[in-house]
Amino acid sequence: MALSDIYFTELQNMYSESLKQVEMVKLGDVLFEFNSRKLTIEESIRTIEQELIKYKNENNDVMVDFCQYRIEAFQQCLNVFSDIYSTLKSKKL
């Protein structure tokens, strides 16, 4: 094998490794973003639960129902984000 072929092969390997590292960084960024969104949704659920307690104490049934629906919607969102996060986290490069 000629010396130029060896250098070319080394360059190809370095390029492939660089691409893999870039993909890992991108995946890390995506995981961070999903985790941040997940934490925001969890905080929203806690806030709505506090509102729910307040409305229950006031016997405001309409707002209690509204809060319960909001909590359910946010929990569904949280489940989707958690599933996507788990799938991405288990991705092997």
The answer to whether residue 48 is domain-embedded is: yes
Per-residue pLDDT at 74: 95
- What would the mean pLDDT of 9-28 be, rounded to a whole number? 80
In this prediction, residues 32-51 reach a mean pLDDT of 92
31 vs 62, more confident = 62
**Does the residue 37 lie in any domain?**
yes
Any domain includes 1: no
Domain for residue 84, yes or no?
yes
Per the structure, the count of domains in the chain is: 1
For the chain, how big is the Rg over CA atoms in Å? 24
Residue 13 structure tokens: 């390997």
pLDDT band at 3 (very low <50, low <70, confident <90, very high): low
Q: Is residue 2 assigned to a domain? A: no
- Assigned domain for 44 exists: yes
Where is pLDDT greater, at 81 or 78?
A: 78
Token pair listed for 68? 């319960």
Q: Give every CB contact of residue 41 below 8 A, 6+ residues apart in sequence.
A: 74, 77, 78, 81
How much is the pLDDT for 93? 47
Q: Are 85 and 30 in contact (CB under 8 A)?
A: no
Domain range spanning residue 61?
A: 26-89
The CA-to-CA distance between both ends of the chain, in Å, stands at: 31
pLDDT score for 92: 56
pTM (predicted TM-score): 0.71
34 within domain boundaries: yes
Identify whether 12 is part of a domain.
no
